[in-house]
Amino acid sequence: MKQAYLVSYDISEPRSLQRVASYLETQGVRIQKSVFLLSLSRHKIHSVKATLGKLVSDEHHVMIIPLSARALEKSEFLGSHPDSFHIF
């Protein structure tokens, strides 16, 4: 069974930022410049966390928030809306 996760990051170093962004693009949908929505199995989220741990250093910040189906259904966008959000 898959779980939705909201992943955001604050990384100032360009090389690390690009590596994290590129990796997350392979795992989910970018919904803002540094915010991604992922739909992953329990096993896969552990793999994603391990990979992100290798890509960031102690001065970087990555936050992973599990989203319930209800929270995801109640999500709203103001302004532009990511085209591929409907896949979740």
Domains and CATH numbers, the chain: 2-70 (3.30.70.240)
Place of tokens 């803002």: 32
- Written as tens digits, the pLDDT of the chain (88 aa) is 899 999 999 999 999 999 999 999 999 999 999 999 999 999 999 999 999 999 999 899 999 999 998 888 888 878 776 665 554 5
Residue 76, pLDDT score = 81
Residue 70, pLDDT score = 87
Residue 75, pLDDT score = 82
Residue 48, pLDDT score = 98
Residue 1, pLDDT score = 87
Residue 78, pLDDT score = 81
